[in-house]
Structure 1
Amino acid sequence: MRGPVIAASLFMAFVGSAIAEDQMNNQTHSYVGMWVTADRYIRHELLQDGRYVEARGKRERAYLGRYRVTGNHIDYRDDTGFTADGEFIDGVLHHAGMILYRDK
């Protein structure tokens, strides 16, 4: 009887993951655009479709992944599975010890 229970659990985990990923794709917020450190070495482009591209120095596509904004909080999940988060405070993104500003 454990087989059906395990199969149902795996299916629910898959569905839950698909729903979470879909929620990351369908969001409305005012943070879409380019965010940069003061020296412009780190650049996060938050795309409307819930994807992001992080550039570091001359590496224009150093990291790629999905993000989700909830209020002023942002959760990142790169395509390798690494996760991180940050907060938007007074128009500034605080992320992993870095401070990023909206690019003009």
Structure 2
Amino acid sequence: MNVERNSDTQAPENHPYVGMWVTADGYIRHNLLANGRYDEARGTRESAYRGRYVVRGDHIDYWDDTGFTADGTFIDGVLHHAGMILYRQK
């Protein structure tokens, strides 16, 4: 994977945001993998979306394998993404 790096970009395997993020109702589950990939489940549909991601500071950019892009922002330990709010699953 060719990941753009700058002083604000941290390698995914070392990033504190790696792990599972879920909506309050548990319907959307974002797994930010340590290899720079993500896997999103929706309801009973596992792996509904997959792709790569890059975190720069508190901003995350997604590139889905089907071609669309998205982004989000981490604010006070909460991920705000595409109108959704996701919380870190412990």
> Could you say which residue in structure 2 is the equivalent of 1:68?
54
> Could you say which residue in structure 1 is the equivalent of 2:28?
42
What displacement does 1:23 show?
A: 1.2
> Could you say which residue in structure 1 is the equivalent of 2:3?
23
Distance 1:69 1:42 in 2: 20
Q: Deviations over 1:3-35 (max 9, x none)?
A: xxxxxxxxxxxxxxxxxx5116x8142100000
The answer on 1:84 being equivalent to 2:84 is: no
Kindly indicate whether structure 1 or structure 2 has the higher relative contact order, using CA contacts under 8 Å at least 6 residues apart: 2
> Could you say which residue in structure 2 is the equivalent of 1:12?
none
TM-score w.r.t. length of structure 2: 0.88
Q: Deviations over 1:32-56 (max 9, x none)?
A: 0000000000000000110000000
* Equivalenced residues, count: 83
1:33 is matched by which residue type in structure 2? G
TM-score w.r.t. length of structure 1: 0.76
Kindly report the root-mean-square deviation, in angstroms, between the aligned alpha carbons of the 2 structures: 1.3
Q: Which has the larger radius of gyration?
A: 1
Q: Any stretches of 5+ residues in structure 2 without a counterpart?
A: 5-9
Give me the identity figure in percent: 73
SS in 1 for 2:2: helix
Q: Deviations over 1:31-87 (max 9, x none)?
A: 000000000000000001100000000001100000000000000010011000000
Instruction: After the TM superposition, list the runs of 4 or more consecutive aligned residues in structure 1 that deviate by more than 2 angstroms.
Output: none
